[in-house]
A and B are shown apart, each in its own frame.
Chain A
Amino acid sequence: MTDTVPTYPFARPTALDPPAEWEQLRSECPVSKVRMVTGDEALLITRYNDVRELLADPRFTHSLTEAGAAQISTSEDGIFNRDEATMTAGPNHQRWRRMMNKSFTVKRVNAMRPRIAEIANQLIDELIAGGQPGDLQSALGFPLPVFVICELLGVDPNYRDKFSHWSDAMLNLDKFSQAETAKAAMEFQEFMVQHVLDKRAAPGDDLLSELAAIVDSQDGRMTEAELVYTAQGLLVAGHETTANMIGKMVAMLLADRPNRWDRLVADRGLINPAVEETLRLDASSSIDLPRYISEDIEIAGCPIKAGTTVMASLSSGNRDETVYDDAAELRLDRVPNPHLAFGAGPHSCLGQALARTELQVTLTVLLDRLPTLELAVPVEELRRRTGLIVGGIEEVPVRW
Chain B
Amino acid sequence: MVTRIELDEPKCIAAGQCVMTAPDVFDQRDEDGVAIILEPVPAPEHLDAVRDAVAVCPAAALQLIET
Contact = CB atoms under 8 A, between A and B. Distances in A.
A107 B10 CA distance: 21
A345 B58 contact: yes
Contacts of A102: 30-33
Contact of A348 (B10, B15, B20): B15
A101 B60 contact: no
Q: Is the interface of A mostly helix, strand, loop or mixed?
A: helix
Given A101-B33, A102-B32, A345 B20 contact: no
A110 to B, nearest CB: 9
Interface string B45-67: 00000011001101110000000
A105 B30 contact: yes
B37 interface: no
A335 interface: yes
A337 B33 contact: no
Interface in B6-62: 10-11, 13-17, 19-21, 23, 27-28, 30-34, 51-52, 55-56, 58-60
Contacts of B34: 98, 101
Interface residues of A, number: 27
A179 B13 CA distance: 37
A272 B20 CA distance: 10
A356 interface: yes
Contacts of B19: 105-107
Interface in A84-113: 94, 97-99, 101-102, 104-107, 109
B15 A342 contact: yes
Given A336-B56, A337-B56, A107 B30 contact: yes
Contacts of A99: 32
A121 B28 CA distance: 30
A343 B58 CA distance: 7
Given A105-B16, A106-B20, A352-B15, A98 B58 contact: no
Given A97-B13, A104-B14, A344 B58 contact: yes
A56 interface: yes
Contacts of B10: 94
Interface of A: 56, 94, 97-99, 101-102, 104-107, 109, 272, 335-338, 342-346, 348-349, 352-353, 356
25 contacts: A99-B32, A102-B32, A104-B14, A104-B33, A105-B14, A105-B19, A105-B28, A105-B30, A106-B19, A335-B52, A336-B21, A336-B51, A336-B52, A336-B56, A337-B56, A338-B55, A338-B56, A344-B58, A344-B59, A344-B60, A345-B58, A346-B13, A348-B13, A349-B15, A353-B20
Interface of B: 10-11, 13-17, 19-21, 23, 27-28, 30-34, 51-52, 55-56, 58-60
The list of the 7 closest CB pairs from A to B, nearest first, reads A101-B33, A353-B16, A101-B14, A106-B16, A336-B52, A348-B58, A336-B55
